[in-house]
Every structure is written in structure tokens, then in C-alpha cells.
Amino acid sequence: MLRVLSVRDYVIAERVELEPGAGFTVLTGETGAGKSILVDALELLVGGRAESALVREGAERAELSAEFEAAAGSALAAWIAQAGLEGDPGSLILRRSIDAAGRSRCFVNGHAATLAQVREAGEFLVDIHGQHAHQSLLRQAAQRELLDAHGGAADLARACAQAFRDWKRLQALAAEAEQQFTRREAERADLQDRVAVLDKLAPAAGEWERLAAEHQRLAHGSSLLAGAQSSLETLSEAEGASLPQLSAVAGRLKSLAQHDAQLVEIVELLESAEAQAGEAVRALRQYATRVELDPEALREAEARVEALHAAGRRFRVRPEELAGLAQSLRARLKDLELAASPDALQREVEAAEARYGAAAKKLSAKRKAAAQALSRAVTDGMQQLAMKGGRFSVALRPLEAPAAAGMEEVEFEVSSHHSLPLRALAKVASGGELSRVSLALQLVTAKASPVSTLVFDEVDAGIGGAVAETVGRALKKLGQDRQVLCVTHLPQVAAQGNAQWTVVRAAARGKVVVSVARLDRAGRIEELARMLGGAEITATTRRHAAEMLGAD
């Protein structure tokens, strides 16, 4: 659950903080006030694209942060532990800064994090349904991805795509083997020699860094030992050593301090210095006993350094890259050895094709079940959105040839009335119908979403009246199980919220600024009246707003 969202110097928002709470929270405000800025900020926090235009004019950087609940034992808590990004128990804090040049930095629980890690975290935290979702739903690829995500087939789809790529790679390798056998044989012989050299050398990942540090220590063993011993003599063992003199000075001044209190602080400083110098002497003695003078180990380290350097020069890579080079050369040699044996290669091709076929078959079965369930659920949802008799169907049509996405194409079809035939969603003429079908889809898929925070950004555009009230009730019901945040311009939806925040855009100090405030009951009545009646609010519209809000 989202506890707090803080925005600073982002677009036109100087300082804004939102605490949505549990249940169904609505964000309202006049058109152009900046309601969607908060949704955009949240999307940016979970891995959205950053650019310099997002920094408020005149500011050095935009700062965004959000605190989420991370219950012990949850999948999110397990991910945090696995990624080594622990923070305060029970919470996860995302922070992102964007400077005026467009450079972005991400943090998770105060730890510097990659954009990929932030996106991974976002998959556990928030599901954002944008106001233009119906536009992406016109694309068959987006329809297929939504079906797979809703039906729990996303992992199967990825496995199927990987199996397809592996199959096609081996197919291409077989075709190439027939055409370029001689060239490949020469390459294979060269690779065998290079791999043999590297296998004999056996470079390990991270070895160069460890070896360089060890060589540096061994090569300077004499000077390290001499320096330690010389320092010990100067501090405590030679005639006139520093430590005894420091002790004597401290003792002399301590006896004088009884005559002048101003010397007390100086004595304390000297005694502290004496204690620290004593610690340094003890540490130096221990260090001196551990410094190794091992000529044989030094010779071995120098020989290994030279061997790695020579191999790096030979293969034109840095010594620390040799382990990775060996791995890539072995993989290439394996492919070439397969190509050198047509029968073995053909068996690999057939096995890869069989693996793809099995993965695609599982994916098809999963999609079939998901398509039936999604069709029923969205059709039911359409009945509540002024589309009585409307139907929704997910069509699965076999492809003529296998593809990375599976063995069928996915297409959403819709009929606005039972007397009309199903047509592709992309060919629906009415924008209002399209937005309502899109909303029904989003409500259904949101119920299946595993995340605890659902955000709807003006997805109710194009509807009104009783349909809007139905949408509000559906979102409120969804808020019984999840945290729901909705940006809306409809009073019928806003009245259903458990809490309401208003976004106000105004001019201050010659600049446009955005502020956000939580409304009490009186404030909600006033805001609903504005949404109902526009600029001129009358007693009648206030009464209507109070009726919509119901009993406190």
C-alpha cells in the first residue's frame, strides 16, 4: 500500500505531498489543474522514462519519493532481502532525482539502485491504468500481452518466445553450415587453438583484480615492513621516542593544571593523543608480524601477471576480460562443432523444434482458458456500463506458421448489442463505446492484479450519469480489498470515494504552482458542487452534492 507520495520541483509542482490511505481515494480538480501530475510522478518512480523537461523551470533537479508498506513474509519483502536493499522493517522507500540535464538517479531504501531494480520493485507495488489505455488496446500485441498477464501465462509466453528463438538460431546454423562448411572448418580449428590456450591458462572471473592486489603487497613487502618498524621506533622504541615524550608533557602539564584550570582541556587533548598513539603502536606491532617477505610467492605472482598480460595482448583484450572471452569462445566452438556434424546438428534442430512445440501447446491451452474467463467477465462488466446486451470475446485464431508469440493470434472482439455481430475492437466506431469497453477490461484485470495499489487516471472519460455512478461503486468495491487511487472529473465517481483530495493550480510569486489538500465533508460538498455546476455554485447544486455524498 502507498503510504506517502512526495513531489518536489516536478513539472509545475514545487512541493506536494499525498497520503492516500486505505480504500478508495479520489483526486479531483479543475481541468488543467495538474491532477495527472501525481500519477505521472508515481509512474516515474517505478521506472518511467525521465527527461529534463520534467524539472520545474528554475529548479536544479526534481525530487520524487514514495513510501510503500512491505509486509513481513510478502513477496515484496522477499525481493527486498534477495536484492540486498533492506531498510526499515515493514516499509519500502523509492526515491528518484532528475537533474536539469535529464540525468536520473534511483534509490531503494536509501541504497543506490538500477532502473531495472526499480522496475522490478514497481511490479510488486503499483498497477497504473492510464486514461489512454484504450489506444494501446487497439493493437493486437497489447491485447495478447493483457490476456497473458490476466491469465497467468506471461511466464509461459516468455518461455515460448525463448524456445522459438533457440529453434530458429539452430535452423539458421544448419543452413549456414551447408553453405559455408570450408570457412567454418577453418574458424573451428582457430577457435580450438585459442580455447586450448585459454583452458591451459584457466583465467578466473575476478582473478586479475585479486592478483594485482596480492602482487602489489608482495612486491612492496620489504618497504612495508621497514616502514612499520621505523615508525615503531620513532613512536616508542628509539631514544627520544614520541610516545614517552608525549606522556611526559601530559604529566608535566597535569601537575601544573592545579594552578591554572585553562590547562585542563589541553591535558585532556594530550592524554587522548597519547591513548591513540598507543593504539597505533599496538596495531603497528601486529601489522609488522603479519607482513610477509616471501620471494617464492612474489615470483609466482609475477609469473601469473605476465602470463595474463601476454594472453591479453595475444587476444587483444584486457587481462580482466580473459575469463569472459574464454566462455564466449567455448560457446561459439560448441556451435561450430555441431555444424561440423550435420546429423548431430539436425537432431539439435529437431529437439529445439519439439521444445518450442511443447511450450506453445501449453501456452495455447492456458490462453484458451484465460480467453473464456476474460470474455465472460468483461461481458458482465459491459452490462453495468450502459451496454446492455453487449458482448465481449477474445478470439484465438491459429497462425499459418509458428511464431515467437505462440501458434495463435489474439484479437479482442466486441458487439454493442446482442443483435449485432462481433467485430474487432480496433473497428469499433464509437469513442464512447471504446472507452467503456476499455474501462470494463481494466476493472476486470485490476481484480486479478497481484499488487495492492491500483491507480486509475481518468479512465472514466466518455461516460456520465448512472454509468458514472456504477463505475464509482465498482471502484469503491475494489477498494475494499485493495488501495485504489482514481483521478476523476466525474462527481458521481468522486462521491463514492472513502477520501477525497483536491488539486489546485494557481499563480504565486509570478509562477504557476500546484497544491494538494485533503477535503473534509464540507470541502467535499463544495468540490462536488463545483464539479456539478461549474463556476457558479448555487444552493441547489450544494444540496445535490450533499445528497450524492450521503450521510457522514
Closest CA to 153 of 370, 432, 460, 334: 370
Cα distance between residue 531 and residue 521, in whole Å? 15
| Residues of the chain with confidence (pLDDT) below 70 | 130-136, 178-182, 218-229, 232, 235-240, 287-295, 339-341, 429-432, 435, 448-449, 459-462, 508-510, 534-535, 551-552
Closest CA to 527 of 28, 93, 12: 28
- What integer pLDDT is reported at residue 67 of this predicted model? 94
> All 3 cell numbers of residue 530?
463545483
- Say if CB 338 and CB 348 are below 8 A apart: yes
pLDDT tens string 466-489: 788 888 888 888 888 889 898 888
* DSSP letter (8 states) at residue 452: S
- What integer pLDDT is reported at residue 300 of this predicted model? 78
- What integer pLDDT is reported at residue 482 of this predicted model? 84
Rounded to two decimals, the pTM is 0.58
Residues near 122 by Cβ (< 8 Å), separated by ≥ 6?
45, 46, 47
- In this structure, which amino acid lies at residue 424? A
Cα distance between residue 453 and residue 6, in whole Å? 16
- What integer pLDDT is reported at residue 111 of this predicted model? 92
Q: Specify which residues 127 forms β-bridges with.
A: 454
Backbone angles phi, psi at 535, to 5 degrees: -65, -35
- What integer pLDDT is reported at residue 435 of this predicted model? 67
The alpha carbons of the chain give a radius of gyration, in whole angstroms, of: 35
- What integer pLDDT is reported at residue 552 of this predicted model? 45
Which residue do the cell numbers 587476444 mark? 315
* DSSP letter (8 states) at residue 48: P
- Residues 362-373, buried b or exposed e (16+ Cβ, 10 A)? ebbebbeebbee
Where do the domains of the chain lie, and which CATH numbers do they carry?
2-151+366-389+427-549 (3.40.50.300), 180-340 (no CATH)
